[in-house]
Structure 1
Amino acid sequence: MDWELRSLVPDGLRIGAIITGEGGVSIEATTTGDGAPCPECGCTSRSVHRHRERALSDLPCMGRPVRLLVRVRHFRCLSPLCPRKVFCERLGGVAAPRARRTDRQGRVLLAIAHESGGEAGARLARDSGMPISPDTLLRIIRRSASPDVSNPVALGVDDWALRKGRTYGTIMVDLHRHRPVGLLPDRSAGSFAEWLVAHPDVRIISRDRGGEYAEGGRLGAPRAVQVADRFHLLKNLGEVVERIMRRHADRLARVPAPGCQGMPWPRRDRAASRERTRSEMRDRYESIQELSRRGMSKSAIARALGVHRHTVQKYMALETAPQRRHRTRGRSILATHEAYILERWRQGCRNAMQLWREVTARGYRGGYGSVARLVAHLRASENTGCRPSQPWPRLTPERSVGLLLAHERDKQEQASIDDLKALHPELCESAAALEGFARLVRSEEGEETERGLHRWMAAAGGSGAPELEAFVVKLRQDVGAVLAGLTLPYSQGQVEGQVNRLKLIKRQMFGRANFDLLRERFLNTGGASRRARDHPVPIFGSTESAPVGIS
Structure 2
Amino acid sequence: MEQIPGLTRRHGQRTERLRSTMASVGLALAGRAGARLARVFGVSISRSTVLRLVDALPEPQPPAPRVVGVDEYATRKGRQYGTVLIDIETRRPVDLLPDREASTLAAWLAQRPGIEVVCRDRAPFFAEGATAGAPQAIQVADRWHLWHNLSEAAERTVAQHRHCLRVLVPEAPEPGPAPAPAEEMSGSPWPTGHRFADRTRTTHANVHSLLEAGHSRRAIQRQLCMTYRTVKRYADATRPEDLFAGQWQNRTSVLDEYKSYLDDRWREGHTNAWKLWEEVVPLGYKGSYQTVRAYLCKKRTSPRPVTARPPSPRAVAGWILSRPEALAETEQLQLKTVWDHCPELDALARHVRSFATMLTERQGERLPDWLGAVRQDDLPSLHTLAAGIDRDLDAVTAGLTLPWNSGPVEGHVNRIKMLKRQMFGRAGFALLRKRVLLAP
Is TM (by shorter chain) over 0.5? yes
Higher strand share: 1
State the Cα deviation string for residues 459-513 of structure 1 (Å, max 9, x = none).
1022222222221122122111111111111111111111111111111110432
Residue 436 (structure 2) pairs with residue 518 (structure 1): no
Aligned residue in 2 for 1:150? 63
Aligned residue in 2 for 1:298? none
Matching residue within 215, 222, 235 for 2:135: 222
Contact 1:171–1:182 (CA<8 Å) still a contact in 2? yes
Aligned residue in 2 for 1:417? 335
Partner AA of 2:109 in structure 1: L
Aligned residue in 2 for 1:433? 351
Contact 1:462–1:469 (CA<8 Å) still a contact in 2? no
Partner AA of 1:138 in structure 2: L
Separation in structure 1 between the aligned mates of residue 419 and residue 328 of structure 2, nearest angstrom: 42
Which consecutive unaligned segments of at least 5 residues does structure 2 have?
Answer: 171-267, 280-301
Contact 1:253–1:396 (CA<8 Å) still a contact in 2? no
Shift of 1:117: 1.1
Partner AA of 1:207 in structure 2: R
Contact 2:75–2:425 (CA<8 Å) still a contact in 1? no
Shift of 1:145: 1.1
Partner AA of 1:441 in structure 2: L
Matching residue within 314, 322, 329 for 1:398: 314
TM-score (norm 1): 0.54
Contact 1:256–1:416 (CA<8 Å) still a contact in 2? no
Matching residue within 362, 369, 375 for 1:461: 375
CA pair 281-120 structure 1, distance change in 2 beyond 3 A: farther
Aligned residue in 2 for 1:494? 408
Partner AA of 1:122 in structure 2: A
Give SS of 1:132's match.
coil
Shift of 1:92: 2.6
CA pair 400-198 structure 1, distance change in 2 beyond 3 A: same
State the Cα deviation string for residues 218-268 of structure 1 (Å, max 9, x = none).
1111010111111111110111121122222233254369xxxxxxxxxxx
Contact 1:94–1:102 (CA<8 Å) still a contact in 2? yes
State the Cα deviation string for residues 126-157 of structure 1 (Å, max 9, x = none).
10111111111112111211222110111111
Contact 2:168–2:334 (CA<8 Å) still a contact in 1? yes
Separation in structure 1 between the aligned mates of residue 26 and residue 151 of structure 2, nearest angstrom: 43
Separation in structure 2 between the aligned mates of residue 199 and residue 222 of structure 1, nearest angstrom: 12
Give SS of 2:154's match.
helix
CA pair 394-119 structure 1, distance change in 2 beyond 3 A: farther
Give SS of 2:168's match.
coil
Residue 158 (structure 2) pairs with residue 245 (structure 1): yes
Give SS of 1:227's match.
strand
Separation in structure 2 between the aligned mates of residue 441 and residue 282 of structure 1, nearest angstrom: 46
Which consecutive unaligned segments of at least 5 residues does structure 1 have?
Answer: 1-71, 73-88, 258-278, 291-383, 528-551
CA pair 95-480 structure 1, distance change in 2 beyond 3 A: same
Partner AA of 1:112 in structure 2: V
Percent identity of paired positions between Structure 1 and Structure 2: 38
State the Cα deviation string for residues 35-75 of structure 1 (Å, max 9, x = none).
xxxxxxxxxxxxxxxxxxxxxxxxxxxxxxxxxxxxx3xxx
Give SS of 2:14's match.
coil
Partner AA of 2:412 in structure 1: Q
Contact 2:169–2:310 (CA<8 Å) still a contact in 1? yes
Give SS of 1:226's match.
strand
Contact 2:115–2:137 (CA<8 Å) still a contact in 1? yes
Separation in structure 1 between the aligned mates of residue 271 and residue 107 of structure 2, nearest angstrom: 51
Separation in structure 1 between the aligned mates of residue 307 and residue 420 of structure 2, nearest angstrom: 46
Which structure has more RCO (C-alpha within 8 Å, separation ≥ 6)?
2
Separation in structure 2 between the aligned mates of residue 390 and residue 174 of structure 1, nearest angstrom: 58
Contact 2:167–2:337 (CA<8 Å) still a contact in 1? no
Separation in structure 2 between the aligned mates of residue 186 and residue 281 of structure 1, nearest angstrom: 48
Separation in structure 1 between the aligned mates of residue 341 and residue 428 of structure 2, nearest angstrom: 54
Separation in structure 2 between the aligned mates of residue 513 and residue 281 of structure 1, nearest angstrom: 52
Partner AA of 1:438 in structure 2: A
CA pair 512-455 structure 1, distance change in 2 beyond 3 A: same
State the Cα deviation string for residues 513-535 of structure 1 (Å, max 9, x = none).
2111111101111x4xxxxxxxx
Aligned residue in 1 for 2:91? 178
Separation in structure 1 between the aligned mates of residue 85 and residue 131 of structure 2, nearest angstrom: 16
Shift of 1:442: 1.3
Q: How many residues align?
A: 315
